[in-house]
Amino acid sequence: MTDLRIEPADDGASLLEWQFVHNSIIPTAALSVAGVTERAGRNRLSVAYRGDVLVGCSTVRPPGADNPVATVIARILPAHRGRGLGTALYGHGLELARELGAEVIETCVLESNPEGLRFALRHGFVETERYVLPGATVPFIDLRLA
């Protein structure tokens, strides 16, 4: 068991911390404060700490009324990987997605994050699609929990 503390990113300070982790791991799709605020309005954003040290963030895109698919994304800063923190953060997001009614779980990984892709594959995800956002050069990889 890790000493990971996971809290909702629901105020200015925690949203800025969520933004920092997201933009550190996904620099090709960096989000502005306005973008993070918009995301927080439709998704469940969380920040993760080990003690008082920020180590990661997560996103749960809830299932829709007519679509039982939720997206669970767990991000751990590189300096804190390999300690079980990603597994704990992912487990928290998976539990939340299922509480929200998800029947199918997906995730998304930037191709330039091979550790994240290995993590997803080790946790039972299979690749479903690769795509490049307009103006970007690095593909995103969508995966579905098998």
Query: If DSSP codes are grouped into helix, strand and coil, which group holds residue 104?
Result: strand
Quick count: other Cβ atoms within 10 Å of Cβ 107?
25
Q: What is the pLDDT of residues 30-70, one digit of tens each?
A: 999 999 999 999 999 999 999 999 999 999 999 998 999 99
Nearest to 26 by CA among 63, 78, 104: 78
The pLDDT of residue 128 is above 50: yes
| Structural domains of the chain ordered from first start | 4-145 (3.40.630.30)
Q: pTM here?
A: 0.93
CA atoms of 15 and 10, how far apart (whole Å): 6
The pLDDT of residue 1 is above 60: no
